């Protein structure tokens, strides 16, 4: 195969190279729009994840108020533990919304930020319970923040792993954000 010296386009393509280029053009056109799983990811990042985080924050506030009503003594370590938990939720909510917005705007950095969010989400799921247990007793933490216990950790690992793999392997993501495959 030879190249045109001016615009570096292939000249005198063999039949197999011509078929490959036609297939690449077809794939590029087919996958160039935000559709399918990609739009679901964007909606999840921009709306569902922040809504779930808001629900967790309000439940934590309600549990804290009921804890204060039922107990006259409030340990001094309880407030920093609660602040740490709420801060981690807010960081994840903000990063989720920003990554969804960047994906929606078709910015290539959006894929990187989304991967960063997925890694952060898994890290928070694994490290926050340990940090909180170091600060306060397990009974109070379970009462205030983890009503279901730590059963959401495997789910978060699976979901984040699946979305991360989608961002790495998807033809649509590569085409929309012009990533090299």
> Could you tell me the pTM of the whole model?
0.78
pLDDT (tens digit per residue) in 15-29: 555 566 666 566 666
**Residue-level pLDDT at 114:** 97
Q: Which of 8-17, 66-75, 123-132, 163-172 has the highest mean pLDDT?
A: 163-172
Number of domains in the chain: 1
Contact 135, 76 (CB under 8 A): no
Looking at the chain, the whole-number percentage of residues with pLDDT higher than 90 is 40
CA angle 91, 97, 99 (to 5 degrees): 95
Structure confidence at residue 67 as a pLDDT band (50, 70, 90): confident
Contact 167, 111 (CB under 8 A): yes
What range defines the domain where residue 136 resides?
36-176
Q: What is the Cα 125 distance to its own chain's centre?
A: 12
């Amino acid at each position: 195969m030879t190249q045109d010296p001016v615009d570096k386009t292939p000249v005198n393509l063999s039949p197999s190279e011509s078929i490959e280029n036609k297939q690449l053009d077809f794939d590029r056109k087919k996958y160039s729009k935000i559709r399918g799983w990609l739009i679901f990811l964007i909606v999840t990042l921009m709306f569902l994840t922040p809504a779930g985080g808001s629900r967790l924050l309000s439940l934590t506030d309600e549990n804290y108020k009921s804890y204060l009503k039922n107990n006259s003594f409030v340990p001094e370590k309880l407030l920093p533990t609660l602040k740490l938990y709420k801060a981690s939720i807010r960081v994840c909510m903000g990063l989720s919304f920003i990554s969804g917005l960047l994906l929606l705007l078709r910015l290539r950095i959006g894929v990187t930020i989304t991967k960063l969010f997925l890694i952060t989400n898994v890290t928070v799921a694994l490290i926050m319970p340990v940090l909180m247990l170091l600060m306060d007793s397990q009974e109070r933490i379970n009462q205030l923040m983890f009503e279901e216990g730590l059963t959401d950790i495997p789910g978060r690992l699976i979901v984040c792993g699946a979305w991360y793999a989608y961002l790495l392997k998807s033809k649509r993501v590569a085409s929309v954000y012009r990533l090299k495959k």
